[in-house]
Amino acid sequence: MYRIVKKVDLAPTIKRFEIEAPLIARKGKPGQFVMIRIDEKGERIPLTLVDASPEKGTITIAALEAGKTTKKLNSMKEGDYLADVAGPLGRPAEIAKYGRVACVGGGVGIACIYPEVRAFKQAGNYVVSILGARTKEMLILKNEIAEFSDEIYVATDDGSEGFHGFVHLLLKKLIDEGKRFDLVVAVGPVPMMKAVAETTKPYKIKTIVSLNPIMIDGTGMCGCCRVEVGGETKFACVDGPEFDAHLVDFDLLMARNRRFIEEERLALEEYNKVCGCKR
């Protein structure tokens, strides 16, 4: 059992949790993730490691309410226990000195990119963070990210803060204004990562994305997380989750992520009935 030590509301549907998991805390690196299961009847879902503190023996994760499991997770309180947390899984991000690095985060992906922003900065890069959210309310961790960024930009879909429009358009604007990048790293919803990949491709800027296919074990045992990269099948949980954005088949990923859409809707409806928290 894994205790929730701290819970913070980052946005109306995004919560951050600090969880006691000493073994994982010792090992977790930026770019890696954990598999969690809330209780006996729960499913296993992957969540990115937002932080890991070997001293405190805790890890930090952040979840956006997407369906039953993340909704249930976000309703949990400090002092509650998760049945299972396993990790750290996946390959760590390749942190090195590249020069000028753009870190692009969309939605809850901002939380996922936070450890990389910090790591790239600490590795001596000039870090430009570009954050995208639906509205100002959903924009998270701006101050934390600013602390490790040389420049920071914000885009919102409704224009309530910063650039009015999608985050990849902001990235394109910055490039066209003459900002040079040696590496772009993007984490967020699949359509956003796809758009970022298409944006940087003509400029030949090396771009890394963190893929989020459906997973079960997260250890390479089931093949549920198959993605195609450069025409080859990869298991995102062991070969990734980070891949060269210009080689990823995003359409396949989107189709595969819709596999259980009806079941997910049913699970959420049933859950809403029990928890009485209709939304």
Partner 1 sequence: MAKISEKKVQMPEQPPEERIKNFKEVPLGYTPEMAMEEAKRCLQCKPRKGKEFPPCVEGCPVNVPIPQFILAIREGRFDDAIRIIKEKNSLPAITGRVCPYENQCEGSCTLGKRQGYEPVGIGRLERFAADYERAKGFTIPPKPQPNGKKVAIIGSGPAGLTAAADLAKKGYDVTVFEALHEAGGVLVYGIPEFRLPKDIVRAEVEYVKSLGVKIQTNVIVGKTITVDELLREFDAVFVSTGAGLPNFMKIPGENLNGIYSANEFLTRLNLMRAYEFPKYDTPIKVGKRVAVIGGGNVAMDCARWARRLGKEVYIVYRRTEAEMPARKEEIERAKEEGVNFMLLTAPVRYIGDEKGWVKQMECIKFELGEPDESGRRKPVPVKGSEFLMDVDTVVVAIGQSPNPLVPQTTPKLKTTKWGTIEVDDELRTSVERVWAGGDIIRGDSTVILAMGDGRKAALSIDKYLSGTDRTWKFGVKG
Question: Cβ closer to ligand FAD: 149 or 210?
Answer: 210
Closest CA to 183 of 250, 90, 96, 91: 96
Distance of alpha carbon 156 from alpha carbon 165, whole angstroms: 6
Question: Cβ closer to partner 1: 24 or 185?
Answer: 24
Cβ density class 156-172: b for 16+ within 10 Å, e for less = beeeebbbeebbbebbb
Residue holding tokens 């919560």?
15
Partner in contact with 31, chosen from ligand FAD, partner 1, ligand FES, none, beta carbon below 5 to 8 Å by kind: none
The residues pairing with 272 across neighbouring beta strands, listed in sequence order, are: none
**Residues between 67 and 106 that touch ligand FAD (CB under 6 A):** 67-70
Closest CA to 60 of 92, 7, 18, 11: 18
Question: Cβ closer to ligand FES: 22 or 223?
Answer: 223
Distance of alpha carbon 18 from alpha carbon 53, whole angstroms: 10
Contact mark string toward partner 1, 33..72, x via CB under 8 A: ----x---xxxx-----------------------xx---
Report how many residues bind partner 1 under the rule CB under 8 A: 41
Phi, psi (degrees; rounded to nearest 5) at 94: -85, 90
Question: Cβ closer to partner 1: 147 or 270?
Answer: 270
How far does CA 72 lie from the centroid of its chain?
Answer: 19
**Residues between 204 and 223 that touch ligand FES (CB under 6 A):** 215-218, 220-223
Q: Which two tokens stand for residue 165?
A: 């429009």
Partner in contact with 64, chosen from ligand FES, ligand FAD, partner 1, none, beta carbon below 5 to 8 Å by kind: ligand FAD
Determine if 37 is a binding residue for ligand FES (CB under 6 A): no
Phi, psi (degrees; rounded to nearest 5) at 150: -80, -30
Determine if 21 is a binding residue for ligand FAD (CB under 6 A): no
**Residues between 191 and 250 that touch ligand FAD (CB under 6 A):** 212-215, 241
Determine if 146 is a binding residue for partner 1 (CB under 8 A): no
Contact mark string toward ligand FAD, 247..276, x via CB under 6 A: ----------x---x--x---x--------
Min separation Cβ 35 and ligand FES, Å: 8
Question: Cβ closer to partner 1: 33 or 120?
Answer: 33
Eight-class DSSP state of 188: S
Query: What is the DSSP pairing of strand 14-20 with strand 58-64?
Result: antiparallel
Among 114, 163, 166, 235, binds ligand FES (CB under 6 A): 235
Residue holding tokens 């809330």?
38
Distance of alpha carbon 200 from alpha carbon 15, whole angstroms: 31
Query: Over the Cα atoms of the chain, what is R_g?
Result: 18
Determine if 24 is a binding residue for partner 1 (CB under 8 A): yes
Q: For binding to partner 1 (CB under 8 A), which residues are involved?
A: 23-24, 27, 37, 41-44, 68-69, 83-89, 216-217, 219-224, 226, 228, 233, 238, 252, 255-256, 258-260, 262-264, 266-267, 270
